[in-house]
Amino acid sequence: MESALSIKGQATIPKTIREHLQLKPGDRVKFFVHPDGSVVILPKLPTSALRGIVSSRRRRPATLDEMREAVAAGASKGIKRGKLR
């Protein structure tokens, strides 16, 4: 499939691609350029689309103290392994 560029540098995404990506008017897309020069276009999902994709084993939200402890534990592991500089 191909599409021509307008004078403004705009291109129409072919209908089959729009349908495959489930794009509607007003949706946003992201472009990723790979080191080999290839380009990937993906729909930019609203944050509301991410709700529920990760199941939680916890019944209650973590407290700030629990979060600080987890961050400190993770940071100290990273320093010991030489990952943080």
- What are the backbone dihedrals phi and psi of residue 15, each rounded to the nearest 5 degrees, phi first? -55, -40
pLDDT in tens, 15-61: 999 999 889 998 899 999 999 999 999 888 777 766 777 766 667 78
Tell me what pLDDT residue 45 has: 76
User: CA distances (Å), 27 to each of 7, 30, 42, 48, 79, in order?
Assistant: 22, 10, 11, 14, 41
1-45, CATH topology level:
Pemi-like Protein 1; Chain: D (2.10.260)
Q: Which two tokens stand for residue 37?
A: 């020069």
Question: Pick from 22, 32, 31, 28: which is nearest to 46 by CA?
Answer: 28
pTM of the model: 0.50
**For residue 36, what are its two tokens?**
């080999």
